[in-house]
Amino acid sequence: MNEEHGENTIHVKDNIIYVTLAGAFNEHGAENVSKKATQIISTFNHKKFMILINLLKLDGATPEAYKISNEFNGWLNSQNMVAKAIVITSQSIKAIDQQWVPSKAGQNIEYFDNEDDALKWLHKQF
């Protein structure tokens, strides 16, 4: 049985992909987010883009979900992503994510506690 855990919403406005994750993610939920984002990015035809990820309602993820996130971010490194802003207040989830997703290390990432500041920063990056 393919039971997806974790809720996600993804939409695009201008050149920014907005991702919101809520709940606890397993590998099926992470795979769903990865596929949605990959499909969106493929429509950009190698144009530059940015990502804003809201993790304020994220409860956590399984090791398998972090593995999928690491693979996706590895692929993302070969795309034309200019910057990624992550909105998060949980320092423990942030630390776990940084440890388990080493493929983010070379990305232009900043962390924020609200979307307004994250968007301001993103607009300065493009």
Q: What is the pLDDT of residues 39-93, one digit of tens each?
A: 999 999 999 999 999 999 999 999 999 999 999 999 999 999 999 999 999 999 9
Express each pLDDT in 4-31 by its tens digit: 899 999 999 999 999 999 999 999 999 9
| Per-residue pLDDT at 94 | 96
What's the pLDDT at 113?
Answer: 98
pLDDT tens per residue, range 89-117: 999 999 999 999 999 999 999 999 999 99
* pLDDT at residue 2 is higher than 90: no
pTM to 2 decimal places = 0.95
- H or E element: which one contains 7? strand 7-13
Whether residue 1 is predicted with pLDDT greater than 60 in this model: the reply is: no
- Percent composition of the chain: helix, strand, coil (DSSP 3-state, to 5): 45, 35, 25
Is the Cα torsion angle 111, 76, 107, 4 positive or negative in sign?
Answer: positive
Close Cβ partners of 101 (under 8 Å, ≥ 6 residues apart):
66, 69, 70, 73
Cα separation, 13 vs 73, in Å, equals 21
